[in-house]
Structure 1
């Protein structure tokens, strides 16, 4: 068993300890500008289909948590423009996720329809043979 740099053990207990540590209300070094840029980049990657939407969703949730920490516990308080830019970038990322998921649903529905049509044609062909 190895020890995590923060003194926790690897494995389930280590992950839980790291997650709890992450949720502590401490100042963060992350900036609103950095989060805004990251959210915009992720939005672009989703639109380009360069990352999986499930992975994008996980990153979005993590970004939301970090944004809350930045807004609530940043060393310097954010001005209205920074807050608005961050909020807009997160909303754009969420919109990109919804669009990507919708596109995946449409594609899955089309595959299902094609599969059902092929099955119906095979059944019809077997009835004609009888």
Structure 2
């Protein structure tokens, strides 16, 4: 169960720091340097921290900081979706290759027995 008390505590994390971190994670996902499951967990944690920064951060967020943070979080979410789509395409390609190989073996076996 989630601890909502944590969301009420102040934080020293800045919007600029979160923005940079989200951008770095997005880049790592695009480079396939981190697993999509890890990326999803980090996104979830960053979303919680972004809420804390907006509500209890060390300074009030300016409009520009808020927009930059939202943009970075959206880019991270997009990178996660893209990575998931890439993994699905790869899995389908492997499945097709396996099915084609099995089909060729069956066809060769049929021709041998005929």
- Shorter chain as denominator, the TM-score bin is over 0.9
**TM-score normalised to the size of structure 2?**
0.92
CA RMSD, aligned part only? 1.5
- Higher helix fraction (1 or 2): 2
Equivalenced residues, count = 113
C-alpha distance in structure 1 between counterparts of 2:68 and 2:86, whole Å: 27
Residue 24 of structure 1 deviates from its aligned partner by 4.1
Deviant stretches of 4+, over 2 Å: 19-24
Measured in 2, the distance between the counterparts of 1:122 and 1:53 equals 35
Q: When the two structures are superposed, what TM-score results if normalisation uses the length of structure 1?
A: 0.81
Distance, in Å, in 2 between the alignment partners of 1:41 and 1:73 is 24
Q: Aligned equivalents of 1:121 and 1:68: distance in 2?
A: 56
Aligned to 1:99: 82
CA deviation string 1:19-73 (max 9, x = no partner): 6377341111111000000001011111111111111111011000100111111
Unaligned runs of 5+ in 1: 1-15
Q: 1:100 to 1:31 in 2, by over 3 A?
A: same
Corresponding position of 1:40:
23
Offset from partner CA, 1:80-117 (integer Å, 9 cap, x none): 10100000000001111111111111011000000000
For 2:89 and 2:80, the matched residues in 1 are separated by 14
